Structure 1
């Protein structure tokens, strides 16, 4: 089956939470995080806002049906990845990498964006190690701005195991290599 990446359409916002729930099934393999398979994802209204700002991309199958997405928001010079998910049956086909590439290309076209940020699990294979292979680097606490440090505190307060999460960053390479 072939897949492609494109900007999400407003009418697709309601489909994205089901993709996130499907993707979360992977956490059943991590006993301490299995509860995430039942957790609520981002509400459709968040996706609507991301789509309206041109900051949501979908991976679609040959019938143009979304099977993955990346939703992001701009915070100053940062494009922050709110969520990236690929439906469980479509995982392992490079769609996550392709969605990250689309976000990077989109960020490179927006004036003033210097980096892409996200928070993720440090050691879960399809989280921290995956992003490191995609060009992200760990952002130590001393280098985190108040927004990222606050997100990590909120995630821990929301039930994530202490110290399990981290902030990561990737510089945006602008068109022309600068």
Structure 2
């Protein structure tokens, strides 16, 4: 179940992010990072407590540890460590054919609004480009400010229902069945260019 947690917008698509940026370097995750990711996601999810229809997500399930370890094994997970060492954010993805699908992206509450979400997206899109993939995909809430509007600001586009492939349609159906239909969700995609940067850091 994908419901990316707060990584608030800090710029516009095609331009460098504005505002304060934390002094950390995004790096590929290692297996030692995996046990820390569920707690980080739980911390980030507390932002949903401010939305009555989604408040249950603040105490809901998080991505299973096995999903993180599989993503790390596929070299499709990135983390944002603080200068002191603890992780401030992560993005877990998985390759599907010519797509790299974001399963979860979370930034800890203390680090939200400081550009980490955009930098994590940049890592995903750059990796997809280097691997010769065609799209980065995800599913998210349509009207939650740090969900679809944030991804749109980074260059992601809404995938209309009529254009959904079987994989994305199945993900949305599963999310609907697990109770995520209280607020509309959608699939989004980023068409990976053959050259040049993807998402600006």
Could you tell me the TM-score, scaled by structure 1's length? 0.95
Q: How many residues align?
A: 176
Conserved? CA contact 1:55–1:103, under 8 Å: yes
Unaligned runs of 5+ in 2: 1-21
Matched, 1:84 2:105: yes
Instruction: Tell me the TM-score normalised to structure 2 length.
Output: 0.84
Match of 1:11 among 21, 32, 40: 32
Cα distance in structure 2, aligned partners of 1:138 and 1:176: 22
TM-superposition CA deviations, 1:27-83 (whole Å, max 9, x none): 011110000000111111110110111100001110232110000001111100000
**Alignment deviations for residues 3-46 of structure 1 (CA, whole Å, 9 cap, x no partner):** 22100111110100011001101101111000000011111111
CA-atom RMSD in angstroms: 1.3
Q: 1 or 2 for the larger relative contact order (CA 8 Å, sep ≥6)? A: 2
Matched, 1:167 2:182: no
* Structure 1 unaligned blocks of 5 or more: none
CA distance in 1, matches of 2:93, 2:149: 20
1: distance between equivalents of 2:78 and 2:181? 30
CA contact (8 A) 1:109 1:175 kept: no
Q: Among 91, 94, 102, which residue is 1:70 paired with? A: 91
Moved over 4 A (4+): none
Corresponding residue number in structure 2 for 1:154: 174
